[in-house]
């Protein structure tokens, strides 16, 4: 099955503790990680670090959909990071959309994971995201249709690399239970390739 090419570049920003530009096909997102850093008194958590996420669209001000992305990615990062090692501090995640060809959410999640790994923050596991598309012809694919109007439904699945468990999902559009299961199985299989790419990238074998 045809699938988007993955590429990335680590450490592209000088100010964050970790950063990554991640591409899924033409979809591109830049992520930066700051932390652990000093946290404002009203946001202090005594037994762990607070995790915050800021998502910036390609143009204009963040909207309701962008706040959804922030909440989703913050929850994923909070689950995977060893926040208990950094009490009374904050870990800040910033995401900048560069281009969207359909896989924006999974691209942002994968960029965040690589930025976390590059920063050296302790993690319980890596997380990787995959986007699947259901076309109006009832075909499930990893490649976005040429026209967004041809997308009947979109599935985003996030897995951990330790046991292949699904730790988050996001869906849009209409689909059957069988189509959801088919997309989930396809996403789980493709996530293995995402984690292979992560590991190769971190040792400098496959970066752009």
Query: Is the pLDDT assigned to residue 70 strictly greater than 80?
Result: yes
In the numeric block, the tokens 């970066």 are attached to 207
Residue 207's pLDDT band (cuts 50, 70, 90): very low
CATH classification (class only), 6-202: alpha beta
Q: What is the pLDDT of residues 148-196, one digit of tens each?
A: 889 999 999 999 998 889 999 999 999 999 999 999 999 999 999 999 9
User: Pseudo-torsion of CA 111, 67, 168, 112, nearest 10°?
Assistant: 10
How close are the terminal C-alpha atoms of the chain, in Å?
24
140 φ, ψ (degrees, to nearest 5): -100, 130
Please give the pLDDT value at position 208: 40
In the numeric block, the tokens 């995201």 are attached to 129
Number of C-beta neighbours around residue 147 at 10 A: 9
Answer with the residue of higher pLDDT: 146 or 99.
99
Whether residue 152 contacts residue 175, with contact meaning beta carbons closer than 8 Å, is answered with: yes
Which SS3 state, helix, strand or coil, does residue 61 take? Answer: coil
Buried b (16+ CB within 10 A) or exposed e, 72-97: bbbebbbbbbebeebebbbbbbbbbb
Q: Which helix (H) or strand (E) holds 130?
A: strand 127-135
pTM to 2 decimal places: 0.94
Cα 56 to Cα 42: distance, rounded to the nearest angstrom: 24
User: Pseudo-torsion of CA 8, 13, 16, 17, nearest 10°?
Assistant: 60
The structure tokens listed for 135 are 């076309």
Mean pLDDT of 101-117: 96
Cα 31 to Cα 91: distance, rounded to the nearest angstrom: 13
189 φ, ψ (degrees, to nearest 5): -65, -40
Strands 90-99 and 50-56 come out as: parallel
Query: Is the pLDDT assigned to residue 77 strictly greater than 60?
Result: yes
């Amino acid at each position: 099955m045809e699938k988007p090419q993955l590429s990335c570049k680590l450490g592209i920003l000088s100010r964050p503790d970790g950063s990554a530009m991640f591409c899924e096909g033409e979809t591109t997102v830049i992520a930066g990680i700051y932390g652990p850093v000093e946290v404002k008194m009203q946001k202090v958590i005594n037994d762990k670090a607070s995790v915050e996420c800021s998502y910036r669209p390609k143009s204009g001000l963040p909207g309701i959909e962008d706040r959804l992305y922030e909440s989703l990615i913050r929850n994923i990062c909070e689950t995977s990071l060893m926040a208990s090692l950094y009490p009374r501090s904050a870990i800040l995640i910033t995401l900048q959309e560069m281009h969207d060809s359909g896989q924006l959410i999974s691209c942002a999640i994968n960029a965040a994971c690589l930025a976390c790994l590059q920063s050296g923050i302790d993690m319980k596991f890596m997380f990787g995201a995959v986007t699947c598309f259901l076309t109006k012809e009832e075909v499930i694919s990893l490649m976005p249709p040429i026209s967004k109007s041809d997308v009947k439904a979109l599935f985003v699945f996030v897995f951990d690399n330790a046991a292949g468990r699904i730790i988050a999902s996001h869906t849009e559009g209409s689909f059957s239970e069988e189509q959801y299961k088919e997309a989930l199985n396809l996403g789980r299989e493709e996530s293995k390739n995402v984690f292979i790419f992560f590991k190769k990238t971190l040792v400098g074998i496959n970066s752009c």
